[in-house]
Chains A and B, each alone.
Chain A
Amino acid sequence: MNRFGVARYVAAVAVASLTLAGCGSSASSDGSDAATSAKKRTIGVSFDLLNAIRQAEKASIQKAAEAAGYSVVFDVADQDAQKQASQIQDLIQTKKVDAVIVIAQDGQQIASSASLAKARKVPFLAIDRAVADQQNVTFQITGDPVADGKAVADEFLAAAKTKPLKVLELVGGLTDQNAIGRRDGFNAALAGQPNITIVSQVPTDWNPTQALDGTSNALQKDPTINAIYIPSDFLLPSVQSALTAAKKLAPIGDPKHIFMVTIDGDQNGCKAMQAKTLDADIATPVEEFGKQAIAAVTTAVGGKPVDPKTVQAKGLTLNQANFATTSSQVWGCAS
C-alpha cells in the first residue's frame, strides 16, 4: 500500500517535471529562430530574475539584437546560481549559441561559466551586475552605484540649501555590491555637511516588508525626519505605505512633505514624480546596457578585442525641474 503510494507520488512528480520541462523549453526559445536559420547568429541570454527592470533590460537587448540581425535565446535562473550555471552550460554546449549575455545571480560563482565560455571560444558578456573575476569576461557594462549614490547626495545637498535635513537612509542588501555602492557614494558625498544629518540607517535586504517596518520604526523613533533616501524604486511603495500610515505622505509644497530621492527610474518612481510626492529619481541607463552589449557581441564574434572591456554607466538624474524634458529618456516613464 505504502510502496504503491510512493510510486504514484514519484510518477506524479515525473509527469509534472516533464510538463514543466515542456513549458520551459517553449519559454526559453522566446525569440529564437536558431533551429530554422543556419546563418543567423544566436545570442544566449541568462538573467538572474525577471522583475520590472529586468523586463526593460530584456527588451533593450532584444531591440538591439534584432536591429543587428541576431536571434536571442532567453533563460531566467529564478535567483538560483546553480540553475544559472546549468542554463549557461546548456546555452553553450547544447544550443551552441555564438555569444552569452549574463546578469549574474552571484558575481563570484559565475566565474566557472565564464571560463567554460572562454574554453569554447564563446564571447561572455556581463551586464548590470559586476562579475568578480574579469579574466574570462569579454565585456561588462554595469551601472555605477557609487556615482548614483553621489547623484542622490547632490539632490539632498541642493534641498539642504533651503532647510536642514534629518535623513532616514534605507540600505539594500548588505551583500549586494549595488546596495553597498549606492550607500557608500551617498554617505561619502554627505560627510561633514552641516545642514544634513543622517539620523537613522535601516537595512532592508531588498525586502519590501523590512522597508515598510523599518521606515515605520524610524518615524516612531524620530518624528522630525524630513528626508528619506530610498536606494531603489522597488522599495518606494513600502516607504509610501509607511508614510501614509503616519499621515506624512504629502506632495511637494505641502509643509508635511518629506523630501525623497530614489534610484532606478521604474514605473513606481515615475508615477510618484508625476504625483509630486517624489523629488528625484536617478534612472539606470537600461537602454545603454542592451545597445553596448550587442555592439560588443558584434566586435567579439568578428574576432576583434572589445575596447573598453569594462564600462560603468552613470544614472540619469530625473528631478522636478527637468521632468518635462528628461522623463522620455527614463525607462520607467517610457514603458
Chain B
Amino acid sequence: MNPATVVHGRLRAGVRREPLLPVLVILLLALAASFQEFATVANFRNIAVQASPLIIAAVGMTYVIMTAGIDLSVGSMLFLAAAIESSQAIVGLPTALVFAAVCAAGALMGLLNGVAVAFTQVPALIVTLATMQVFRGAGGHITGQQNINLPANLLGIGTGSLLGVPTPVLLAVAVALAGGFVFSRTTFGRYVQAVGSSPDAAANAGLPVRSVLVGAYALAGLLAAVASLTQTARLGAVQPSIGQGYELTVITAVVLGGTTLFGGRGSIGGTVLGALVLTTVQTGLVFSGASPYIFDIVRGSVLLAAVLAAGARWRNLAHAVRLTGRRRPSRDGPYNSATSA
C-alpha cells in the first residue's frame, strides 16, 4: 500500500478516535497566529505545567466515570491531602515518607467513596457530595483554615525539573501512560469498561463488580492526592480554598475528552486532550486580554459544549443500538468476559 495512504488512514483513524485532537491543534495554531508571545517554548512549558495536576486528577476521574459513577469530592480530597501533607505529624518526615503518607491518605479517601458506592444503593452523586463536605471540613480542621507554607524539600515535585522537563509534566505523562495501559491492557481496565457498560451484565458474567467500583474510586483518590502534591508544591503553600470547585474542572476535562457520563465508553488519551484544551483556553483568554467576565462565560460554554457533545454521542449510540439490536461497543474494543476474566 502507498505509504502516504497508510499515514492518511492512520491520521483519519486517530482523529476519529480522538476528535478533540484537531480542536487542540486548531486552537494552538489560532492563538499562535494571533499572539506573537504565545508560540514560545516557555509558554508551551507553562501550559504543560498548568495542565499537569488537572491531567493527573482527571485520569483518576476517567476510571470513575467509566463505571457510570461520579466523584464530586475530588477537590476536597485534593485539599485534605494537602492539609495532611502540611500537618505537624507528617511535614517533618523524610520527603518520600511524606509523599507515601499523602498518597495512602488519598487512596483511603477514595476507598471510603468506593465502599460507600459499591455496598449501598446510594447514588455516587450523593455519596461523594457528602464526602466532599466531610473531606473539606476535615482539611479545614487540620489546617485551622490558615495558609501553611511548605518546606523546600516538598516543593520539588511541583517546581523542579529533570533534563529540562518540569517534574509535574513528567509525573502527568507517567500517570497518563500508566492509566492508559491499565485501562486498555489489563483485566482491571476491561472490568471497569464492562461494569460501566452494564453492571448487571457484568455481575451475571461473574465479574467482581463491587471490587471494581472500589478500585476505581480508590484510584481516583490516589491520583487526587498526587495532583495535590504537585499543585501545593507549585503554590508553595497549603491554602484553605485549594481545590474548591475543582471537581467541575476535572469532570469537564474528562467529558470533553469523550468519556460518556453514562459509563462504559471513554479513553485516557481523550481525557489528556480535554485537560490540555481547557488549560490552553484559559491561557488564551489571558493573552486575548478578555474582560474578566468573559472568562466565566467561556468556561461555562466549554462545559456546556462538553455535556452537549456527550449527550449527542449517547443519542447516536442509543440509536445505533436500537437499529442493530446489539450492545454498545467500548471505544477500546468490545468487552469480552471470556477473554478478559
Q: Which A residues lie at the B interface, using CB under 8 A?
A: 2, 5-6, 9, 49-52, 54-55, 78, 171, 174, 199-203, 205-209, 212-214, 216-218, 220-223, 234, 237-238, 240-241, 244-245, 267-268
Beyond the given A208-B241, A220-B40, please list 19 additional residue pairs across the A-B interface where CB-CB is below 8 A: A5-B120, A6-B121, A9-B122, A78-B137, A174-B292, A174-B293, A202-B286, A203-B293, A205-B245, A213-B50, A214-B286, A217-B46, A217-B282, A217-B286, A220-B42, A241-B236, A245-B159, A267-B147, A268-B147
Q: Does B291 contact A (CB under 8 A)?
A: yes
Contact present for A9 and B119 (CB under 8 Å)? yes
Contact present for B295 and A203 (CB under 8 Å)? yes
* A137 vs chain B, min Cβ distance (A): 26
B window 101-123: CB within 8 A of A: 116, 119-122
Contact present for B146 and A201 (CB under 8 Å)? no
* B300 vs chain A, min Cβ distance (A): 13
The 8 closest A-B CB pairs, nearest first, are A203-B292, A217-B286, A51-B145, A9-B120, A237-B237, A208-B239, A241-B236, A220-B43
Interface residue tally of chain B, by bracket? 35 or more
- The 21 listed contacts between A and B (C-beta, < 8 Å) are A6-B120, A9-B116, A50-B140, A50-B145, A51-B240, A201-B289, A205-B245, A208-B235, A208-B241, A208-B242, A212-B234, A216-B46, A217-B282, A220-B37, A221-B287, A237-B149, A237-B235, A237-B237, A241-B159, A244-B236, A245-B234
Residues from chain A with Cβ under 8 Å of B159 in the complex: 241, 244-245
- Considering the complex, give the chain B residue whose CB is closest to the CB of A205: B245
Residues from chain B with Cβ under 8 Å of A54 in the complex: 145
Q: Tell me which of B120, B145, B234, B282 contacts A52 (CB under 8 A).
A: B145
* A31 vs chain B, min Cβ distance (A): 17
Contact present for A216 and B236 (CB under 8 Å)? no
Contact present for B242 and A209 (CB under 8 Å)? yes
Q: How far is the CA of A10 from the CA of B323 in the complex (A)?
A: 43
Residues from chain A with Cβ under 8 Å of B282 in the complex: 213, 217
Q: How far is the CA of A171 from the CA of B296 in the complex (A)?
A: 13
- Considering the complex, give the chain A residue whose CB is closest to the CB of B44: A220
Q: How far is the CA of A240 from the CA of B147 in the complex (A)?
A: 14
Q: How far is the CA of A237 from the CA of B236 in the complex (A)?
A: 7
Residues from chain B with Cβ under 8 Å of A220 in the complex: 37, 40, 42-43, 46, 283, 287
Q: Does B35 contact A (CB under 8 A)?
A: yes
* B2 vs chain A, min Cβ distance (A): 43
Instruction: Give a binary string over B224-237; 1 marks a CB under 8 Å from any A CB, 0 the rest.
Output: 00000001001111
Contact present for A52 and B245 (CB under 8 Å)? no
Residues from chain B with Cβ under 8 Å of A2 in the complex: 121
Given A9-B120, A49-B145, A217-B287, A238 and B293 touching (CB < 8 A)? no
